[in-house]
Chains A and B, each alone.
Chain A
Amino acid sequence: MKRASRLFLVQVLLVVLLGLLGVVGIGAESLQVAVHLQAAEVVPYWDPSDGASGEIALMNNLYETLLRYDPNTNEFVPLLATSYEQSEDAKTWTFSIRRGVKFHTGNLLDAQAVKASIERTLERDRGSAYIWYPVESIEVVDDYTVRFHLSQPAPLDLIAAAGYCAYIFDPAFSDHDWFIAGNDSGTGPYTVESSEGSEKVITKKFDDYWMGWEGNHFDRVAFQTIPEASTRRLMLEAGKADFCESLPPTDIEALMTHPNVSIEVNPSFQNLVVLYNNQRAPLDNALVRQALSYLIPYDDVVDVALGGYGRASRGVVPYGLWGYSDRVEQFSYSPTVAQALLAQAGYPNGGFKFLLTYPAGYEDIRKTVELWKASCAELDIELDARAMPTAERNAIARSPDPEKRQDIYLLYWWPDYANPDSFLSGMFYTQERPAYNLGYYSNPDFDALVDVATTLPSASSGAIAMMVELQNILQRDAAGIAVWDMEYLRARSASLRGYNDNAAYPNVVFWYDCYRE
């Protein structure tokens, strides 16, 4: 027994010694390391041509686009393009490419690389690659000038500044298998040092970054998936993380007073949209659609479903994105008006039952639906609300047989790039085979105006006026309505400086701009 006890004691001492070694070893080098936490995968898509999801936070630090859009100033920041110009019909766009920019592979950026990058993205046609569909051909004018010829007018400056699928990479290092093995060939300030599956990526600063490393910057940035909200919160509180993209409102409230943590509340380009089935009675009657829209208790929904972190929508373009305007007409909660509209439509006693589908797993949407359902019940309108997986919902919504489709479809919408047209065209432009126009709205006048709007310079006064007009058409028709505009709740380390929330790049921290005080 004595021998066993001694052995046990030796083992304990060994563990303690090694533990101390482990703790002491950490402080051996004074590196500035930032830790960015995500709830979902850090890199669902390693290939820069394929992105459409949570990889946006990492990729925008590894890769760069021709331009970056700042919605706060409504300006484009030149990145890999130093300047650009568009033709009057918005079908020809010419970009001057920055000289002396190196890829992480050591090769130099030129116009040919830009052309090859975009062509590869188009050819693969994955993720959000469809944003480039208007591009008919890409012409290399000279080593540092590239010209895009479009088949139809499109805001190519916004497309070139997109957070997904607009990255420029070294065409000499663009093998898909090479990318998914955890490599990158961008020009961004950071490059991959190591990765562990798709859940943890450690990046290091790229010494030859074209903006240089003067001033205060992080040496390394670690991107890590922490699925459990409680663990993310604990890491922030313990100072083990610098940024956390999402936490439940209850955790946010609790962290408001924590000395190590700062909470950022910023507008997002994401909203909750209700699409009415415009082709099926009685919802083919605009008066019925309007009546239903007057039955949504907007303010209560924002308070209850979003915990106050959001705002009632005004039109389908969310607050903060150009095209949002106080001049857009908006429904408000009014059962009296709703009742009058129903009477006018010939249904004074209601008596409808509508199949409403909404995405499963979203507590905020569920609460919204419950409040709306209760309000409708007072006018003898039953909402048969069903939370469903997206695949099942979409199978119903895209059924070739209109009789099998739902009456009301709820969805989150956000743009692939900072363009209000995504909300208008994506969900309301006539589609013979519905993709996301799942209210099956078809209005030739609306379509014609959308076509004109796309020729106007992005965020110009003319374009904004057109967006207002388009939204008012939708509101008058009650084709579909936005209920609330979400606000992003970010928790970050209180000592982090340089962070600037940019709704055009959701969840992205441009770590090059940040430092620790």
Chain B
Amino acid sequence: MLVRRSARLPGGAPLQREETSLFTYILRRLLVGLLSLVGASMVAFMLTRIVPSDPAAMWMGPHATPEQIERTQVELGLDQPIPVQYWRYISGLLRGDWGTSIVTKHAVLRDLATYLPASIELIIFGLLIGFSVGVPLGVLSAAKSDSALDHVARLVSITGVAVPSFWLAMLLQLTLSKGAGLFPLTGRVDLLMEITNPIHRITGFALLDSLFTGNFAALGNALWHIVLPAVTLAMYPLGLATRMVRTTMLEVLSEDYIRTARASGIRESRVLGKYALRNAIGPVLTIMALTFGYSLVSTFLIESLFAWPGLGRYAAKAIVSVDYPAIMGVTMLVAVTYIVLNLLVDLALAALDPRVRLS
């Protein structure tokens, strides 16, 4: 938990809350995170079991005989009571066995390792676009409050938050891809490029792997492909960052120390960048972390539309097919991501903002 150091009791006495050591704080947060993971796994496990489906029948194909289905139920452990199935799943999870996907027939862990890098790459690119445009736009909007620029920035931020990603994706595909032919329609790299200049997998990140191996043709092609899905993904964080930065900046800009800084003749760009933004960035950092988690989920639609071979498309397919091992795997991964990111953001905030302490 984060507490601002400035918290005081009436009369000026400091709030009686001990500052915790970094190690204890992290340990406590990890323990809470572990409990959250157990909770998330139980809820997800129960939900996937409540939904009417027959994984054994799916596994065996559309004309499977009842005997084949029964045999598969035993093989997959589906004949066991739910608590036993859950215990088996959790113990398997700890051993590194995350189950086998009903759809792909591959180990879920292998699937996650295959698909995750493409999503991470897309999300990082999208967030980079979103925040590198959104934060400056928010600053400018606050600095020039009620000007034409401010109105445009507010319109952009509202649009960014409100526009459904699937609609924007199709709009971009129709206009910039099909219409103007500026960007490719789908995929991570062109099929022909995959054949003539295959990217040798090192990290799974196409941009990094092509860079590391000096495959610049593929690197350019991959950059060309990531633009439209990344822009689609960027719209929400862009809108959010703009709004958030504008609001916090307006608050900070009315503070006395800003007035003092301006009165001292410090350049406006320095006032905004060094004094105001630094004090306004805390909430933005928090939403950056949350937006990362949110983006993992919004890739479900975006990746499906752009045929982006990432975790989002894998998850969307798993949900439609009630592929419970894959759903569990994605749920656990997203839960871990949220927990770790929140912890990292809290630590980063404590390091950046001297008013914040760990407790």
Q: Give residues in A with beta carbon < 8 Å to B.
A: 1, 15, 17-26, 28-29, 31, 33, 35, 41, 44-46, 51-53, 125-128, 130, 180, 193-194, 196-200, 202, 220, 222, 224-228, 230-231, 234-235, 237-238, 240, 388-392, 394-395, 398, 416, 426, 433, 435-436
Select from chain B the residue with minimum beta-carbon distance to A179: B105
Given contacts A231-B173, A234-B173, A394-B54, are A435 and B66 in contact (CB under 8 A)? yes
Shortest B185–chain A CB gap in Å is 5
Which of chain A's residues have a CB closer than 8 A to the CB of B195? 29, 31, 33, 193, 202, 220
Q: Is the interface of A mostly helix, strand, loop or mixed?
A: mixed
Complex formed: what's the CA distance from A30 to B186 in Å? 22
Shortest B111–chain A CB gap in Å is 7
Which of chain B's residues have a CB closer than 8 A to the CB of A395? 54
Select from chain A the residue with minimum beta-carbon distance to B69: A394
Shortest A51–chain B CB gap in Å is 8
Q: Let me know if B223 and A19 touch, CB within 8 A.
A: yes
Shortest B269–chain A CB gap in Å is 6
* 9 further A-B pairs in the complex, CB-CB below 8 A; given A222-B191, A231-B307: A22-B220, A26-B221, A33-B191, A33-B195, A128-B61, A180-B106, A227-B317, A234-B185, A433-B66
Q: Let me know if A18 and B216 touch, CB within 8 A.
A: yes
Given contacts A197-B104, A390-B54, are A231 and B186 in contact (CB under 8 A)? yes
Which of chain A's residues have a CB closer than 8 A to the CB of B189? 22
Q: Let me know if B309 and A390 touch, CB within 8 A.
A: no
B304 within 8 Å of A (CB atoms): yes
Shortest A273–chain B CB gap in Å is 13
Complex formed: what's the CA distance from A207 to B63 in Å? 36
Which of chain B's residues have a CB closer than 8 A to the CB of A237? 178
Q: Let me know if A226 and B186 touch, CB within 8 A.
A: yes
B16 within 8 Å of A (CB atoms): no
Select from chain B the residue with minimum beta-carbon distance to A388: B52
Complex formed: what's the CA distance from A46 to B110 in Å? 16
Which of chain B's residues have a CB closer than 8 A to the CB of A20? 220
Which of chain A's residues have a CB closer than 8 A to the CB of B219? 18, 21-22
- Report the interface size for chain B: residues with CB under 8 A from the other chain: 57
Given contacts A22-B222, A125-B68, A196-B309, are A31 and B53 in contact (CB under 8 A)? no
Q: Let me know if B314 and A197 touch, CB within 8 A.
A: yes
Shortest B226–chain A CB gap in Å is 10
Given contacts A26-B221, A33-B195, A180-B106, are A128 and B57 in contact (CB under 8 A)? no
Task: Write out, one digit per residue, whether chain B residues 298-313 have a CB within 8 A of any chain A CB (1) or not (0).
Answer: 0000001111010001
Complex formed: what's the CA distance from A467 to B157 in Å? 68
Which of chain A's residues have a CB closer than 8 A to the CB of B223? 15, 18-19, 22
Q: Let me know if A200 and B309 touch, CB within 8 A.
A: yes
Which of chain A's residues have a CB closer than 8 A to the CB of B64? 52, 127
Which of chain B's residues have a CB closer than 8 A to the CB of A398? 66
Which of chain B's residues have a CB closer than 8 A to the CB of A202? 191, 194-195
Which of chain B's residues have a CB closer than 8 A to the CB of A125? 68, 71
Which residue of A21, A24, A26, A199 is within 8 Å of B309 (Cβ)? A199
Select from chain B the residue with minimum beta-carbon distance to A431: B66
Complex formed: what's the CA distance from A275 to B100 in Å? 35
Complex formed: what's the CA distance from A52 to B68 in Å? 13
Given contacts A31-B195, A436-B63, are A198 and B309 in contact (CB under 8 A)? no
A sample of 19 cross-chain residue pairs with beta-carbon separation below 8 angstroms, ordered by A number, consists of A19-B223, A22-B217, A22-B220, A25-B217, A31-B196, A41-B317, A125-B68, A127-B61, A194-B198, A197-B115, A198-B106, A225-B307, A227-B313, A231-B185, A235-B185, A388-B52, A391-B53, A394-B57, A416-B63
Select from chain B the residue with minimum beta-carbon distance to A165: B61
Q: Let me know if B104 and A19 touch, CB within 8 A.
A: no
